[in-house]
Amino acid sequence: MNTYEIKTIDEILEAFPFNGKFTGMHRIESGHINSTFVLEFTTADGAFKEYLLQKINTYVFKNPDQLMENIVGVTEHLRKKVAENGGDPNRESLHVYFAKNGAPYFVDSDNNCWRCINYIYDSYSLQNVESANDFYNAAKAFGKFQNLLADYPIDTLHETIPNFHNTESRIADFKKAVKDDLAGRVNTAEKETAFILEREADCSVLVNLIKEGKLPVKVTHNDTKLNNVMFDKNTNEGICVVDLDTVMPGLSLYDFGDSIRFGANTASEDEKDLSKVSLSLEYFEAYTKGFLQCAGNSLCEEEIKQLPFSAKLMTLECGMRFLGDYFNGNLYFRVEYEEHNLIRARTQLALVADMEKKFDLMQEIVEKCRKELGM
């Protein structure tokens, strides 16, 4: 058994009301922020039972009380909605298991914060899109997720990471990272830095549209990576959206754009061979179709118009976040090697460049999908 960062698994086993005898655990490697483990148990009647255990990254999420208050509120809302619609809340929504002391997370003797969540049985996640249909199914899942939260009381949500997709504030952070040059590396990525700074004006577009009242702020997921959807093993439909840490007031466009950034890239987020990086128009179309089909009726004209731009902006934002973190000495994103964030930044910027070339085609695809859907 590899317990990784868990020095005192016994403390955790004691803290939560697990059902059965602990038989083992393994780590789930995906996700750049929290550490995730699957804990395995055998129940009294001999059944196999699993739970997800996560160590909350408190460097990133400074206020775990507020974070968990959001997640508990959102998951309870989702469970109610799923049940009302005749679905299975245990498969179609997450559920937070409270610690025995009544708190939604447990603080161990080293001051680490742990939370426990239901494991979605007979499901799988994808690290890369394997077919247009996968991505279409992911779009439907995120679109549906947005609909289920449309009547969630937005004012009750805490901003778990302030200005998360505020691209003006993101570029200000990036410039600060360049100026501070904490790890003494800025001179190794001058071309990439210039590429970002040349696009500074882009960072104000959506922010200004919000200020002008042209884009509505809604409850959004804000981290719509493909691997944040669980797919059903039998039907391959997206059944459950996970990783709810950044469910906050945001724009539908952030969710659309971030999905495209990750899933419509023909290469992985950390591909070293940039010739493999490009925007798949086939995948862009599949996602646009699924998203418009499910969430389209709640989108206004300006939101639909900005869909292609949002994909570019979210990719640029992620590029500057990775590069800024590289300059800061890899404080935020988990890395497997020292240049990992630089490599990730390069793929994002190469994808931005390709999206700029294909921008007219992306717009045509949005129009085509609208026509097909009679919107």
Lookup result for tokens 């997206």: 238
User: Taking CA 192 as the corner, what is the angle to CA 265 and CA 29, rounded to the nearest 5 degrees?
Assistant: 45
The binder of 269, among ligand GN1, Mg ion, none, by C-beta within 5 to 8 A per type, is: ligand GN1
Binding residues among 177-196 for ligand GN1 as defined by CB under 6 A: none
Handedness of CA 317, 319, 324, 329 (dihedral sign): positive
In the complex, what is the shortest distance from the CB of residue 301 to ligand GN1, in angstroms, rounded to a whole number? 27
Binding to ligand GN1 by residue 143, rule CB under 6 A?
Answer: no
Confirm or reject binding of residue 60 to ligand GN1 (CB under 6 A).
yes
Q: Within 202-261, which residues bind ligand GN1 (CB under 6 A)?
A: 223, 225, 228, 243, 245-246, 258
Whether the Cβ atoms of residue 294 and residue 256 lie closer than 8 Å to each other = no
Piece of 27-35, 151-159, 305-313, 366-374 that binds ligand GN1 (CB under 6 A): 27-35
Complex with Mg ion: residue 243 or 303, whichever CB lies closer: 243
Residue with tokens 């447990």: 106
Q: What sign has the CA pseudo-torsion 69, 170, 177, 329?
A: positive
Helix (H) or strand (E) holding 257: helix 252-263
Cβ proximity to ligand GN1, 293 vs 347, nearer residue: 347
Residue type, 249: P
- Per CB under 5 A, which region of 27-35, 173-181, 301-309, 365-373 contacts Mg ion? 27-35
C-beta of 224 vs 293, nearer to ligand GN1: 224
Which residue number, 134 or 325, has a Cβ lying nearer to ligand GN1? 325
Question: Can you read off the two tokens belonging to residue 283?
Answer: 């995948």
Q: Which residue has the tokens 């991505």?
A: 135
Contact pattern for ligand GN1 over residues 306 through 345, marking x by CB under 6 A? ------------x---------------------------
In sequence order, the 6+-apart residues with CB closer than 8 A to the CB of 339 are: 326
Q: In angstroms, what is the minimal distance from the CB of 344 to ligand GN1?
A: 7
Q: What is the DSSP string of 161-212?
A: STTTT-HHHHHHHHHHHHHH-TTS-GGG-HHHHHHHHHTGGGGGHHHHHHHT
Least distance CB 350 / ligand GN1 (angstroms)? 15
CA 225 from centre of chain: 5
318: partner contacted, choices Mg ion, ligand GN1, none (Cβ within 5-8 A by kind): ligand GN1
Strand partners, 22: 41
- Binding positions for Mg ion, 201-240, rule CB under 5 A: 223
Residue 117 sits in the site that holds ligand GN1 (CB under 6 A): no
Residues that bind Mg ion (CB under 5 A): 33, 223, 243
